[in-house]
Amino acid sequence: MRAAVFYLFIFLNYLKESIIMKKSIKYSITAVVVILIGLAAYFSFFHNSQKEAGNKTVTVGIINGSKKDDELYESVAKTAKDKYGIHVVYKKFTDYSQPNKALTEHEVDLNSFQHVAFLDAWNKAHHTDIVPIGKTIIGQGRIYSQQVKNVKDIKPGSTITIPNDPTNESRGLYILQSAGLIKLAPKKSLATVKDITSNPKNLNIKEVDASQTARSLPDVAASYVNGNFAANAGLDPNKAIYVEPVNKVSAKWINVIAANKADKNNKLYKEYVKAYQTQTTKDLNKKLYGKTQITTWDIKLK
C-alpha cells in the first residue's frame, strides 16, 4: 500500500510540474498511462500474493483431546510451516459426529480423528464421499482383567464386556477372535455378536457403553477397553492380558487424515500429510504415548 501511495505522489507531482512548465499534453498523457500501468501491476501482484498466502493455510478438524494430543499436533504444524510454508489452523470439536460434518460443509479442509472403519460407516450412513489421504496412528486394543493374567486362563461360561457402539463392538469382537476366544463369520462390514460362529468356552459377550467397560472389570472375567477410557481409568497398558496385533485384520482400525474426495490430490493437503508422516512425529509419539499407540504409515501389514 505504501508503494501505491508513492506512485500516486510521483504522478501528481509530475502532473503539477508539467502544467507549470507548460509541457505538451502528450507527455502528461504518457505519464498518466505509465503510472496507471504501474499501479495496476502493483495491485495485481499484491492481490495475487495475498491470495497465494491465503491458499497456504490448511484448516484441520480434530477432537478436543489431551495436552499430549495438542503437543503432537503442534509439532506437525511446526513441521508444515518450516518445511512447506503452510500455516496450519486446528479446529477442535467435542463430539465425534462433528468433524466429518464440518469437512463435508467445507468448514475445515481436512480432519484427523477417525479410523478407517468409522469413516466407512460414516460414509455409508450419511451418503458422503470422504476419503483417507494418509495414515497416522493406531491405538492397539487391549483386553484387561482383574481375575486372570492370560486370556487362556479365562474360564468357560465367563462374562467378557465389550463396547456397544457399532465400530468398537466390531473391533472388540475381532480382538477376541485374534485372542483365540471366538470365531466370526467372514464379512466386510462391521461384526456383531450375531456373527459369532464358534464360542468353545461358551463365553457371555456382554455389550455395555464404552465408558462402562473399565468399570465392569471387578465383576467380569475380562473386558476390551478403548484406549482413552483405559487411560482415564488409570489402567496400565503393560498389564493388559492381550494386545491387539497390527495386521491386515486390524487395518480398518488405523487412524487417517481425511479429505473430501474432490480434494484428495490437493498439493497442500498432501504436504500436510507429509509433515505428519515424519521421524519427528514418530519419535514424539513414542515419547508421549509409549506403547499405547504406534505410528502406521511405514509399517507392513501381514
Distances (CA, A) of 233 to 225, 227, 292: 10, 10, 14
Q: Following DSSP, what letter does each residue of 54-118 receive, concatenated?
A: HHTEEEEEEE---HHHHHHHHHHHHHHHHHH--EEEEEEESSTTHHHHHHHTTSSSEEEEEEHHH
- Residue-wise pLDDT for 64-90, tens only, equals 988 999 999 999 999 999 999 999 999
Same domain, 33 and 176: no
Same domain, 228 and 258: no
Same domain, 240 and 147: yes
Residue 147: CB atoms within 10 A of its CB come to: 15
Last residue of a domain, one of 13, 38, 53: 53
pLDDT at 231: 83
Residue 24: CB atoms within 10 A of its CB come to: 9
Same domain, 164 and 133: no
Same domain, 232 and 261: no
State phi, psi for 201 to the nearest 5 degrees.
-95, 5
Residue of 154, 149, 117 whose CA lies nearest to 132: 117
Host H or E run for residue 291: none
Same domain, 117 and 264: yes
Is residue 212, in this structure, part of any structural domain at all?
yes
Same domain, 257 and 132: yes
| Cell numbers describing residue 142 | 487391549
Strand partners, 88: 58
The domain tally of the chain equals 3
Is residue 302, in this structure, part of any structural domain at all?
no
CB of 255 within 8 A of CB of 119? no
Is residue 117, in this structure, part of any structural domain at all?
yes
Is residue 201, in this structure, part of any structural domain at all?
yes
Q: Tell me the mean pLDDT per 10 residues along the chain, length 302.
A: 47 49 48 45 42 72 92 98 98 94 98 95 96 96 96 97 93 96 88 96 96 96 91 91 91 96 97 98 96 92 86
pLDDT at 53: 44
DSSP secondary structure letter of residue 26: H
Domain holding 131, by residue range, is 56-138+252-295
pLDDT at 276: 98
Same domain, 150 and 238: yes
Same domain, 90 and 8: no
Same domain, 79 and 219: no
Is residue 68, in this structure, part of any structural domain at all?
yes
Residue 150 is part of a domain; what is its CATH number?
3.40.190.10
Same domain, 124 and 155: no
Same domain, 79 and 202: no
Is residue 132, in this structure, part of any structural domain at all?
yes
